[in-house]
Structure 1
Amino acid sequence: MSIPAEAFFLTPGFNGTLQQQIQQMVAEGILRGRFRPGEKLPSSRGLAEHLGVSRITVTLAYTELVSGDYLTARGRSGYYVSDTAPMQPGFEFEERPHRDTVDWERIVGRRFSRHELIARPVDWQSYAYPFIYGQADATLFDHQNWRQCALRALGKRDFEVLTADFYERDDPMLIEYIMRSILPRRGISARPEEILLTMGAQNALWLASEILLGQGSRAAVENPCYPGLRAILGQIGAEVLPVEVDADGLLPEAVPEGIEAIFTTPSHHCPTNATMPIGRRTALLERAGREDFLVIEDDYEFEMSFLKPAAPALKSLDREGRVIHVGSFSKSLFPGLRLGYLVASEAFIREARALRAAMLRHTPGHIQRTVAYFLSLGHYDALINRLNQAYKRRRTVMDEAIRTHGLEIAGQGAFGGSSFWMRAPAAVDTGLLAVDLRAKGVLIEPGRAFFAPGTAPRNYYRLAYSSISQNRIPEGIALIAEALRETGANQVA
């Protein structure tokens, strides 16, 4: 029996090539049982004429399906559904209404979804003025060299790295380049046994918190701080003690007594961008030694120090093994990479490795090897240089636009970063302001989520310049200033 060409039709908006769409149509037809073993496919000429595509497109699709054993070619007779084609299970499947009768409120003891995080629209690229933080800018990313590194990592030479289960281990090539290239620029010296790869900084912070803290433990955090950290500590039941920050970040003398650990972002404070001076770093470590607590250093935006040379990491000053250093490639490469690392004493890394193995074994081998090639061939350093140059230009333009329109900068950082921490007049609720601005194509981040509960003012917001083109910045800032004037609370003439 022959399958008619009319059984196929192209779908507008398909995410792929015409050849891929034809392959998918045939494969789905076979998997769903509509096309059965031994049935003949339309000729390449006939299907091409029906779909309005070139004959070579259909031929290439059929050839790929033959290599996947979906089809078989029989000389001049044509293409047939293979007798050994992949098939779905033989049982009947019927979609039916689903009613959930489980009382999840009673069964789920711990609530993981009640912590407030920053809400960002998924379609942020469609907005004309996206002043949102942390997304990659396609115009700055090194697509060509990343693709080459990824293809190299997919080659036969790296087949074991691509396919093997490393169990609790990491790619030695990537560990080597982190140890020899990434850490020394932060002043950190470490052995392979003191480094662990993670699924981004968030995963690293979770591992550290799970190992060091528990129900009733006392942990100090900066206020304001990264909202994801507060969510982690709340989920494990730790008592979270906020420590106010100033223009130079965390004040060591303000740290409460009787804590087990403190979390800090000395490179660039989140979200104010303040850089902690060396004197404060030393004072914090001295106090940690006297009072026997640990310091978790989130190396937030270290690479984005383009206004002044970066200061050595807190970990580089550690002589007692009290600092656990958290690093990430999310901001310097792209957030979807989900690759970070922990640097700490071997005894801590041993426990973190075991905990990670129980949850996710290890980060994907192919990702690890691709990043290793990207680092070793010098592409990473070139990308950081390009990002910093672009960010410096954007920052200059944004700073000028902010001052022109009389907006107030609450914290801009003296070393760089990728955003401004802003303060609106006291009567302004930036959550409502963000809703109004979104209708005008402007995205900002309200600041309330960064503050500890009960301390959150509503008039702070963050403006990032990592995801917006330079030429759109002045107009976007003008729209923010106009929206503030429309509230009637803006005191600027």
Structure 2
Amino acid sequence: MPIPPDAFFLDHAAGLPLQVQLRRQIIASVTAGRFRPGEKLPSTRALALHLGVARVTVAQAFAELVSTDYLTSRDRSGHYISDSIERRLEAEPPAPDAPRFDWDSQLEGRFGRAQRRDRERDWRRFAYPFVYGQADPALVDHAAWRDCAMRALGRREFDSLTGDLYDADDPELVDHIARQILPRRGISAGRDEILLTMGAQNALWLVAQLLLRPGASCAVEDPSYPGQREILTASRARILPVPVDARGLPPHAIPPGISAVFTTASHQCPTNSTMPLARRKELLARAQAQGFAVVEDDYEFEMSFAGAPSPALKAIDRAGAVIYIGSFSKSVFPGVRLGYVVADPRFIAEARALRGMVLRHPPGHMQRTLAHFLSLGHYDAQANRMRRAYAQRREVMLAAIAHEGLRLASPEATGGSSFWLATPEGVDSAELAALLKTRDVLIEPGAAFFAAPSRGGGFFRLAYSSVPADRIAAGIGRIGAAMRELSAHSGAFVSISSA
């Protein structure tokens, strides 16, 4: 039985290539059993006319499906659903009285309980998404990344990428990290001191698994990165929050008896304050004296707007106590999901063994693509482009914040791609965020950053990585208006200009 042309449709506004849409539609119909083996498809001419596309678009889609054995081509007859496709068997629904397995008795639920739930997955639908960590596609060099991916998938290199590396990493990428990336942070490291990870989150998980034995204690900055708290909470470690000040983590406040301290010394998360050199030296001295490891998450060192960034803690560590974590999520794009750990060779060897049990190694083609991106100079070009764009956005946002009378909680911070703000007394940031969502604005309320969420009601974070400069002022204007509206009941709102 022939399949009629009107069984197909394309969304010309979807942003997905029409040829890709057609291929996916046919595959989905085959696997669902709507199109059956032996059924004839419309001619390329008839289907192109029905869909309003060029005939070559349909012909290329059919050719791809023939090569993957979804379709067969018969001379002078046309295209048919391949006889080798087995129809997907639909599972019969269980009987209403069938017993169900008791998963509640098998699962503790500790990972789900630790998971952060305040993020908006569909953030792109908002006109003013002041959310941290998302990229502006206009700043990503798509052509360069595509070229590097094609190089990695070329015949000359493809054989090495199709094999299982076991616990090894791409030597070219490791070499470029050692020679190009780490020296900018003052770090000198050999290959046996570097481990690639699936981003900083994966790196933090590996570190926590290795450092925190049952019953161990660790110190964390408060406020701090919510994703780190998720990992540490699920690890069942005893988490000891240490309040930060305008200069980051105060070493003298670190409690005794800990196994590790987790810090974001260069750009404290979320305040963006920078730990001065004297404090860094004091922290390392205490680590040496008390025997705890220092986990340094250097997540955004490229984004410094007041001179050269301070050297990393790892750069001045002479005892080997620092475990350094870096990521390409902010400097390339979040979806690349590649990061690295730099530490003593003994720690790296153990971390490599643990990683091998979980995922062997990050995908080889992604590693090699990134290696080309670094070696051909695209990484530096993109980082410079992002730095210029972020500097402009930062200036525009600072001016808008001042104009609206909003209050910076860390006015001395000079880096990062976000601002940490304080609300007026009587205004809760969660309530503010809920109101702003109805006005096409996303902000990050402060509760998720604190060990005691109630302490976060007076703070919120505004990021500008995904908001173009020409939209920032309007978005900040909406925040200011909502703030004044909420504070009118208490009469607490006082602008910076009149304070």
Query: Which bin holds the TM-score, normalised by the shorter protein?
Result: over 0.9
Instruction: Deviation per CA, 1:178-220: give whole Å up to 9, x if none.
Output: 0110101111111111110111111111111110112211100
Q: How does 1:17-32 map to 2 (within 5 A)?
A: 17-32=17-32
Q: How does 1:368-447 map to 2 (within 5 A)?
A: 368-447=367-446
Equivalents in 1 of 2:31, 2:456: separation in Å? Answer: 56
* CA separation of 1:112 and 1:74: change in aligned 2, threshold 3 A: closer
Equivalents in 2 of 1:286, 1:205: separation in Å? Answer: 23
* CA separation of 1:482 and 1:354: change in aligned 2, threshold 3 A: same
Equivalent residue number for residue 66 of structure 1: 66
Does the 8 Å CA contact 2:198/2:362 hold for their aligned counterparts? yes
Equivalent residue number for residue 470 of structure 1: 469
Query: What is the Cα deviation at residue 259 of structure 1?
Result: 1.2
Equivalent residue number for residue 149 of structure 2: 150
Q: How does 1:95-174 map to 2 (within 5 A)?
A: 101-109=100-108, 111-115=110-114, 117=116, 119-174=118-173
Letter in 1 for 2:150: L
Using structure 1 for the length normalisation, give the TM-score.
0.93
Equivalent residue number for residue 184 of structure 1: 183
Letter in 2 for 1:190: A
Instruction: Deviation per CA, 1:127-177: give whole Å up to 9, x if none.
Output: 121111110011211111111111211211221343221111111110010
The number of aligned residues is 490
Equivalent residue number for residue 231 of structure 1: 230
Equivalents in 1 of 2:35, 2:232: separation in Å? Answer: 54
Equivalent residue number for residue 350 of structure 2: 351
DSSP 3-state at the match of 1:296 = strand
Equivalent residue number for residue 272 of structure 2: 273
Query: What is the Cα deviation at residue 322 of structure 1?
Result: 0.4
Deviating more after overlay: 118-127 vs 97-106:
97-106
Equivalent residue number for residue 449 of structure 2: 450
Does the 8 Å CA contact 2:327/2:339 hold for their aligned counterparts? yes
DSSP 3-state at the match of 1:458 = helix
1:316 aligns with 2:319: no
Equivalents in 1 of 2:346, 2:138: separation in Å? Answer: 43
Deviating more after overlay: 190-199 vs 465-474:
465-474
Equivalent residue number for residue 305 of structure 2: 306
Question: Percent of aligned pairs with the same residue?
Answer: 54
* CA separation of 1:135 and 1:33: change in aligned 2, threshold 3 A: closer
Using structure 2 for the length normalisation, give the TM-score.
0.92
Deviating more after overlay: 256-265 vs 70-79:
70-79
Equivalents in 2 of 1:125, 1:71: separation in Å? Answer: 37
Q: RMSD in angstroms over aligned alpha carbons?
A: 2.3
Query: What is the Cα deviation at residue 4 of structure 1?
Result: 4.1
Does the 8 Å CA contact 2:448/2:456 hold for their aligned counterparts? no
Instruction: Deviation per CA, 1:82-109: give whole Å up to 9, x if none.
Output: 44x33346x5644568888344443223
- In structure 1, runs of 5+ residues without a counterpart are none
Equivalents in 1 of 2:270, 2:99: separation in Å? Answer: 41
Instruction: Deviation per CA, 1:33-66: give whole Å up to 9, x if none.
Output: 5555555443333333444443333333332233
Equivalent residue number for residue 56 of structure 1: 56
Equivalents in 1 of 2:90, 2:124: separation in Å? Answer: 42
Instruction: Deviation per CA, 1:361-419: give whole Å up to 9, x if none.
Output: 11111111111110111111111111111111111111111112221101145432111
Does the 8 Å CA contact 1:308/1:416 hold for their aligned counterparts? no
Q: How does 1:246-257 map to 2 (within 5 A)?
A: 246-257=245-256
Does the 8 Å CA contact 2:447/2:454 hold for their aligned counterparts? no
* CA separation of 1:4 and 1:127: change in aligned 2, threshold 3 A: closer
Equivalents in 1 of 2:15, 2:91: separation in Å? Answer: 27
Equivalents in 2 of 1:238, 1:106: separation in Å? Answer: 23
Does the 8 Å CA contact 2:170/2:364 hold for their aligned counterparts? yes
Does the 8 Å CA contact 1:288/1:322 hold for their aligned counterparts? yes
Does the 8 Å CA contact 1:5/1:50 hold for their aligned counterparts? no
Equivalents in 2 of 1:471, 1:14: separation in Å? Answer: 25
DSSP 3-state at the match of 1:420 = strand
Equivalent residue number for residue 260 of structure 1: 259
Deviating more after overlay: 230-239 vs 323-332:
230-239
Does the 8 Å CA contact 1:226/1:450 hold for their aligned counterparts? yes
